[in-house]
């Protein structure tokens, strides 16, 4: 038997960032702890008595924190200013136009001439600050939702070199006649260097309809010669990853090592077919990855990030993306014991936190 949901805010006082929690149930409770980050850190601890949960690495006295992932771009899609229209790009023709919808996402107002065969629509690009980048992470939140099985469309993020040729591209598409079946796609290289072209993802997810009615995360990264592509669909009305696909490829021959200088966004229609009625780009971030951190631990999150520790699901995430790789294997997910509990978060100045739980009775 479960009691009602209770929430306790952590208080920042002389003892640290503390929440005093009473569990009147007959057994322990498995909480959700949420932290809105106001200060970067290399680690995060949650203590309850002698039990602790940890992600990351505390600094030794001889170490200094390093910003391994340095955010150089965050576009919340609140304006089209700064984006330059692109007339054509490899397999698509421009001519369309973006507009801002609801203050925080770009949608097409016009998708170009319908007598054009193949992909056509809105294409725009901008230079990446502090670019060109060798080691990077790109993340975008996009939507592709159909209201009829005949509708088709594509939302793509492209990473371009200094000559405006693709280094990599990642997209969500519906390219099926008379059926709604969204397909995630990630590819390296371009047609000018066919030996370097490599498809990392080209599938609909676990099932043919897994990524239908899609709003989710498109993610590409290169560190050294290691490429990573990640596509996930968010749980409905959240920004938490659900159905996902993650692919790693080592570019042993270094054929896809061109630096990325520009980021390109596009929303397209296929020929004169009905297009998906809800296609959008909601958020775009790019990080420069600093590889030479030596023995100094990197920051694991930044100002504005949200950390969620979900004991029931044995899950820790940063901005909805799983961060289990950062967990100290000797630490345990936090529980709220029967009776009085004093939860403490370290560092105490990391941010604003709350704990949500339900008392359990046997």
Domain closes at, from 265, 289, 313: 289
State whether 177 and 306 are in the same domain. no
pLDDT in tens, 236-293: 888 888 889 999 999 999 999 999 999 999 999 998 888 888 999 999 999 999 887 6
CATH number at residue 178: 2.60.120.200
Give residue 216's pLDDT.
Answer: 95
State whether 128 and 55 are in the same domain. no
CATH number at residue 51: 2.60.120.860
Domain closes at, from 237, 269, 289: 289
Give residue 16's pLDDT.
Answer: 85
Long-range own/partner contacts, residues 95-104 (CB < 8 A, 24 or more apart): 95/120, 95/121, 96/120, 96/121, 96/122, 96/123, 96/267, 96/268, 97/122, 98/122, 98/124, 98/267, 101/280, 103/78, 104/76, 104/77, 104/78, 104/282, 104/283
State whether 13 and 118 are in the same domain. no
Distances (CA, A) of 362 to 11, 27, 29, 302, 336: 31, 7, 12, 41, 16
Residue 294 in this model has a pLDDT that exceeds 80: no
State whether 13 and 89 are in the same domain. no
Tally of domains in the chain: 2
Q: Residue 150 in contact with residue 159, Cβ under 8 Å?
A: no
State whether 120 and 29 are in the same domain. no
Enter the tokens of residue 109: 């107002």
State whether 181 and 212 are in the same domain. yes
Closest of 245, 234, 236, 238 to residue 204, by C-alpha: 245
By residue range, what is the domain housing residue 131?
A: 70-289
Compute and round to an integer the Cα radius of gyration of the chain: 23
The residue with greater pLDDT, 61 or 341, is 341
State whether 275 and 317 are in the same domain. no
Q: Which helix (DSSP H) or strand (DSSP E) does residue 321 occupy? A: strand 321-322
pLDDT in tens, 117-128: 999 999 999 999
Enter the tokens of residue 89: 């790009």
Closest of 22, 24, 23, 19 to residue 8, by C-alpha: 19
Q: Residue 305 in contact with residue 37, Cβ under 8 Å?
A: yes
State whether 18 and 61 are in the same domain. yes
State whether 48 and 20 are in the same domain. yes
What confidence category does residue 14 fall into, taking pLDDT thresholds of 50, 70 and 90?
confident
State whether 112 and 207 are in the same domain. yes
Residues 314 and 17: their CA atoms lie apart, in Å, by 23
Q: Residue 101 in contact with residue 90, Cβ under 8 Å?
A: no
State whether 212 and 344 are in the same domain. no
Domain closes at, from 289, 314, 330: 289
Residues 248 and 226: their CA atoms lie apart, in Å, by 7
Q: Which helix (DSSP H) or strand (DSSP E) does residue 139 occupy? A: strand 136-145
Residues 18 and 33: their CA atoms lie apart, in Å, by 12
């Amino acid at each position: 038997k479960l009691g009602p949901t209770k929430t306790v805010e952590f208080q920042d006082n002389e003892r640290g960032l503390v929440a005093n929690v009473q569990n009147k149930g007959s057994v322990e409770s498995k909480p959700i702890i949420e932290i809105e980050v106001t200060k970067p850190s290399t680690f995060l601890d949650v203590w309850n008595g002698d039990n602790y949960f940890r992600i990351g690495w505390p600094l030794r006295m001889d170490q200094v924190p390093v910003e391994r992932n340095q955010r150089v771009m965050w576009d919340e899609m609140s304006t089209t200013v700064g984006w330059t229209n692109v007339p054509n790009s490899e397999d698509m023709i421009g001519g369309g136009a973006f507009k801002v919808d609801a203050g925080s996402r770009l949608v097409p107002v016009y998708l170009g001439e319908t007598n054009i065969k193949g992909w056509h629509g809105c294409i725009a690009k901008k230079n990446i600050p502090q670019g060109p980048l060798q080691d990077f992470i790109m993340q975008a939140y996009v939507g592709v939702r159909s209201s009829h099985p005949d509708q088709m469309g594509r939302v793509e993020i492209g990473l371009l070199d200094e000559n405006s040729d693709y280094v990599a591209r990642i997209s969500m598409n519906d390219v099926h006649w008379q059926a709604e079946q969204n397909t995630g796609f990630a590819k390296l290289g371009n047609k000018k260097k066919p030996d370097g072209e490599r498809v990392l993802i080209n599938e609909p997810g676990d099932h043919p309809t897994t990524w239908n009615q899609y709003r989710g995360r498109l993610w590409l990264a290169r560190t050294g010669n290691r490429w990573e592509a990640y596509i996930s669909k968010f749980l409905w009305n959240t920004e938490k990853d659900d159905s996902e696909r993650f692919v790693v490829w080592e570019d042993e021959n270094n054929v896809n090592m061109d630096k990325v200088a520009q980021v390109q966004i596009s929303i397209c229609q296929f020929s004169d077919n009905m297009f998906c009625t809800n296609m959008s780009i909601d958020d775009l971030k790019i990080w420069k990855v600093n590889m030479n951190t030596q023995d100094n631990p990197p920051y694991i999150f930044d100002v504005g990030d949200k950390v969620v520790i979900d004991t029931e699901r044995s899950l820790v995430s940063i901005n909805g993306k799983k961060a289990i790789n950062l967990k100290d294997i000797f630490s345990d997910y936090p529980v709220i014991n029967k009776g009085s509990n004093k939860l403490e978060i370290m560092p105490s100045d990391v941010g604003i936190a709350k704990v949500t739980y339900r008392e359990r009775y046997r």
